[in-house]
Amino acid sequence: MKQPLRKDLEPVAASFIVKELVEPHFDPNWHFHPHYQLFLVEKGTGTRFIGDSIKPFGPGDLVFLGPNLPHLWRSDQVYFDRQPGLTSDELTTRGIVVYFTEDFLGPDFFEKQEMAPLRQLLNQSRQGLEWMGPTRSQTATALKNLSKQPVGFQRVMSLLTLLNDLTRATDFRYLTSPGYTNTVKPAETDRMQLVHDYVLGHFPDDLSLDTVADLAGMTSPAFCRYFKARANKTFSEFVSEVRIGHACKLLMNGKLNITQISFESGFRTLSNFNRQFKDITGQTPSGYVKTYRRL
């Protein structure tokens, strides 16, 4: 892999960065950076990796990340394969992202008494936040307006207003587990990226721990210890969450029945699929579909 795990953004004269992303697929590299990041997916589907959280994503996905929290929006394989019959427009991903640092308005701005709600939001974002319900659509509109504003005072006010609105929203949930910390070092990029890429490319198959450990250049026991220390979960738990994340996307798509989805996602028995699905999501597959349809 050529890109380092730690990602540094290009310096700009403005106090913060707003970007409209229109690409064949989202950045496929597992990375982190010292900026806060507010990201809205407008178009595209895939699997979202944030810290030790693995979830499917689609249009409307709204996430706020604190500094140095590893993340990756991995587009579905179709965005890389360019299958015949799909137009380039159908395969395009689109999103709006805002980057800013803790001191983008001065070193002590968020320490002022009036900024207490915003300071709390920033602290919460270090665990990763996502919003559901009406906050998604309201924030999407605000981000679209923000992306069209020229650099200036009004744009700064618009960002602060947006963040202030998020402090009052209650339809959010944390993404990473309470005890998660980023223990990955930039020098370990290649190893973790190889593991991610291999699992994402082979999760429907019978994955061999020995094969993955060999890719990482380690013995199986050493790899298990290494992976658990950096991902805050075992390798088998990681694989299960990737498979269940894929199953969630297929359930939302509604084209296959539950038995078909279990096999498409790499499970060899329906009972094992149902058990792991409930362990990871807290719901049965049918219950998950009902919840999704109510959103």
- Domains of the chain in start order, with CATH, are 16-174 (2.60.120.10), 202-293 (1.10.10.60)
Mind listing the pLDDT tens digit for each residue in 201-228?
Answer: 899 999 999 999 998 899 999 999 999 8
Contacts of residues 270-277 at CB distance under 8 Å and 24 or more positions apart, as own/partner, are 273/247, 276/240, 276/243, 276/244, 277/244, 277/247
Reading the chain (295 residues) residue by residue, the pLDDT tens digits are 333 355 656 556 789 999 999 999 998 888 888 999 999 999 999 888 898 888 889 999 999 999 989 898 989 888 988 655 555 566 899 999 999 999 999 989 999 999 999 999 999 999 999 998 899 999 999 999 999 999 999 999 999 999 999 999 999 999 988 767 777 666 666 678 788 889 988 999 999 999 999 988 999 999 999 998 888 889 999 999 989 988 988 888 888 999 999 999 999 999 999 999 999 888 899 988 887 665 4
- pLDDT, position 249: 82
What angle separates helix 235-253 from helix 285-294, to the nearest 10 degrees? 50
Taken in order 209, 215, 216, 221, the sign of the CA dihedral is positive
- pLDDT, position 36: 96
Tell me the C-alpha to C-alpha distance, in Å, between residue 98 and each of 91, 126, 294: 23, 16, 29
- pLDDT, position 115: 93
- pLDDT, position 8: 57
**pTM score, two decimals?**
0.76
- pLDDT, position 186: 62
